[in-house]
Amino acid sequence: MQLREPDPNKMIIGLDAVESLVETAQEARYQLGDSELGEQLQDAIDRVQDAEHMIDIDTDGWAIQHPLRCRPAMLNCAMHKLAVLTITKPPMPPGRYVLSTRIGQLKYEAIDD
C-alpha cells in the first residue's frame, strides 16, 4: 500500500488563500457583533482553523489531507510519519476518514462525503 497524491477535487485551497479568507471573515465578524449571522460566521471560522487530518483510502493507496497548522512542514508532521511507517495494507474499507492517534496508533473515524 503506498502514499499517493491527494485527489485535487477533495483538496483544501492553498494556505495563503485560506489565511486571507479567515482574516476577511474575522473583520466581518467584528462588524456583525453578536448577531445571529456573526455567530454563524464565527462557527465557520472556528471550523476552518480547527480542522482535523483527513485520510482518503482506496484499494491502491492513501493520501492525507493536512489541516492548516501542518501545511508549512507536512512531511515533518507526526501523523504523516506514523502513517508512512504503519500503513502497509488498506487499514479500513475505501473511503474518507478523520485521522487521529491514540497511544501511538492511528485511529480512523468514518465521515460522510
The structural domains of the chain, with segments of one domain joined by +, span 2-110
Looking at residue 48, its pLDDT comes to: 66
A 10 A CB-CB count for 45 gives 17
Is 62 in contact with 55 (CB distance < 8 Å)? yes
For the segment 76-103, what is each residue's pLDDT rounded down to a tens digit?
888 888 999 989 888 899 999 999 888 8
Looking at residue 76, its pLDDT comes to: 83
For the segment 41-88, what is each residue's pLDDT rounded down to a tens digit?
777 777 666 678 889 998 888 998 888 777 777 778 888 889 999 898
A 10 A CB-CB count for 76 gives 9
